[in-house]
Amino acid sequence: MYGGGYVFCEPDVHGQPDDPERLAEFEARIDRGEKIEPQDWMPYEYRRQLIRLIEQHAHSEIMGALPEGAWITRAPGFKRKLALIAKVQDEVGHAQLLYSAAETLGKSRADMVNDLLSGKSKYSNVFNYPAKTWADVTVIGFLIDAAAIVNQVANSKGSYGPYCRALERICYEESFHLKQGYDAFVALATGTKRQREMLQDAINRWYRPIIHFFGPPDNESVHSKQLMRWKVKMASNDEMRNQFLDAYVPKVLELGLTFPDPELRKDPQTGRWHYGDPDWAEFYRVINGDGPCNAERLSARRLAEENGRWIRQAIMNPQQKFTIPFA
Amino acid sequence: MNPIVELITKLGDDAFILGHRHSEWTGLGPILEEDIAMSSMAQDKIGHALALYTILHEQFGGPDPDTIGFLRNEKEFRCCHLVEYPNGEYDFTLVRHFLFDHAELLRYQLLRQSTFAPLARFAAKVMGELKYHVLHADSLMQRLALGNEESHARLQASLTEAFPLAAGIFEKSPYEDQLIAEGVFAGEALLQQQWLKEIEQRVQAWDLHLPEAREPLAGLGGRYGYHTPYLQPLLDELTSVFRSEENASW
């Protein structure tokens, strides 16, 4: 998981203007489909927006570990327990990969983590909703991972080399999560009456955050034109949302489950999905810190950071030298 | 109880409960790299429990592994007290992991010679994983013991707390003599002796010390179904979803 619904920053009017010749050369490289590498020249704004994007993605992975991670100790049976630990572990591994990719642009992991904890950096809204039952874990594992894959596959074709390479591996692992998520989802959908009710309830609660996942509609997204030109943003929010609905709504309906949106339907003429008003004001409230679990998630992360500080300090001890290899 | 069943049950229960404790760190570890390492070991341990419960199921007609893991009562578990203790801070988790995994590696080295073939086969397989568990424990213990004043003090405090409990790993089974006589397992006394040598040597090199033996019964009882107050709440949580719907498949 878990890209999606990125919020890019306002263009920095105080930034240094870029050398027009180098900018033209840079844009020509992107047009030719070349990848930009850390040592290459890049526009100020490109670097800034990429740091923001990759950092948000990394934060989403580490924060995304929390709602599902809380169910590891309760996962029913060996198969689900092992799969869930492996999955959440993968997410933490993705955070590690992504922080490293962002570091190539000049911001340290510690600075990124501090900005997360202070609330300056954002992460995906979906993780600010509660995972109330085991069924929520299956909905996250199936539908939210599926949504994240749509987003990440698009991003993996972007222009920044380190990010693309991290995403290739991430997408590979995500597609496995999706299989596990779907398997657990189907087990409930085809299970007892109570299991089905539990699943339907989870879908009802997660529907809106999933619609929000890809971010506001295109007509509300600001300044994405230049970012698309530079292949930082690879597909429009509405395009990705439509692609997701097209692939996954039928899979849910065919299990006899429903979505809590009477307006949800595909227009046979245009092939576009129509959905009821998902209350975008809620999206902005949550991204700005006022969601059902923002405070809880951040305090869990903060506690983990604080509890781990003594270890980080001890292993950074520059006096320590180990010459004998451990392995 | 069949002596081999008793032996495999305690091995499986140790791995299951410690794996569960390790997995409580997933997503909350002190550094991303440690978070990932601890989650790997959690999966390995829980995987070992699954493999051992599968032996019980296949060789001795026991119930399926999920039933063994998720539907037994607290009294039927045979894990030692050390693995039941809450994670505490990372120092306790690490010291426990260090003490336990050294014993585990040596135990399976002995079990490779077991006359009970399924256990000998499992031992050979599991050694490859345990080698890395020990490597992880040793390398982090060393770095933290020699890191700075705080990390050294923390490891010493946790070692002082955990070391007496580790005696429970080697609590003799009621069938000890029979298992040794039949060549199933070389016995807890020998294992403890080998283990102490490994631990002492390392602890000394890292400028830590083992506490004087105090309470001779500390850490004992687990192998006979007498547990710490921490096990029942762990099992309540572990089995809460599984038990919430009878005859359901998840």
Q: Where are the domains of chain A?
A: 31-302
The whole-angstrom separation of Cα A137 and Cα A72 is 10
Q: In the numeric block, which tokens belong to residue A42?
A: 């890049």
> In this predicted structure, what is the pLDDT of residue B1?
86
Runs of H (alpha helix) within B24-116: 32-60, 65-70, 81-84, 90-111
SS3 A160: strand
> Does the structure show a pLDDT above 90 at A272?
yes
Rounded CA-CA distance A133/A136 in Å is 5
Which residues touch A81 (CB under 8 Å, ≥6 apart)? A72, A75, B23, B46
Mutation pick from A138, A193, A315, A323 vs chain B, by most beta carbons of B within 10 Å, is: A315
Q: Which run of H or of E encompasses A273? A: strand A273-274
DSSP 8-state assignment for residue B173: P
pLDDT band at A32 (very low <50, low <70, confident <90, very high): very high
For residue B61, what are the domain limits? 3-244
Residue A18: predicted pLDDT: 87
User: Is residue A266 within a helix (H) or strand (E), and if so which, with residue range?
Assistant: strand A265-266
* pLDDT tens digits for range B4-21: 999 999 999 999 999 999
Q: Look at residue B212 in the predicted model and tell me its pLDDT.
A: 85
Q: How high is the pLDDT of residue A325? A: 55
* Percent of chain B's residues with pLDDT above 70: 98
**pLDDT of amino acid A10:** 67
Average pLDDT over residues A118-146: 96
- Residue B125's closest CA among B15, B184, B48? B48
CA dist., res. A89 & res. A94, Å (int): 9
Helices assigned H by DSSP within chain B: 3-23, 32-60, 65-70, 81-84, 90-111, 117-145, 149-166, 176-181, 188-205, 231-238
Say which of B30, B47, B241 has its CB closest to residue A308.
B30
Q: Domain A31-302's class?
A: mainly alpha
Structure tokens at A80: 């689900």
Q: Does A74 touch chain B (CB under 8 A)?
A: yes
Q: How confident is the model at residue A219 (pLDDT cuts 50, 70, 90)?
A: confident
B250 domain residue, yes or no: no
The confidence score (pLDDT) of residue A9 equals 66
* 3-class SS of residue B207: coil
CATH assignment of the domain containing B180: 1.20.1260.10
User: A274 at the B interface (CB within 8 A)?
Assistant: no
B-chain residue closest to A91, CA distance: B27
Q: Are the C-beta atoms of A203 and A252 separated by less than 8 Å?
A: yes
Checking if the pLDDT of A214 tops 70, the result is yes
pLDDT exceeds cutoff 80 at B119: yes
Q: Minimal Cα distance from A133: which residue of B?
A: B241
- Please report whether residue B249 resides in a domain: no
> How many domains in chain B?
1
Min Cα separation B75/chain A (Å): 20
pLDDT at A322: 66
Task: Give the pLDDT of residue A224.
Answer: 73
Computed from CA positions of residues A63, A64, A66, A69, in that sequence, does the dihedral angle turn out positive or negative? negative
Written as one letter, the residue type at B204 is Q
Which two three-digit tokens encode residue A321?
């030298």
Task: State pLDDT tens for residues A38-65.
Answer: 999 999 999 999 999 999 999 999 999 9
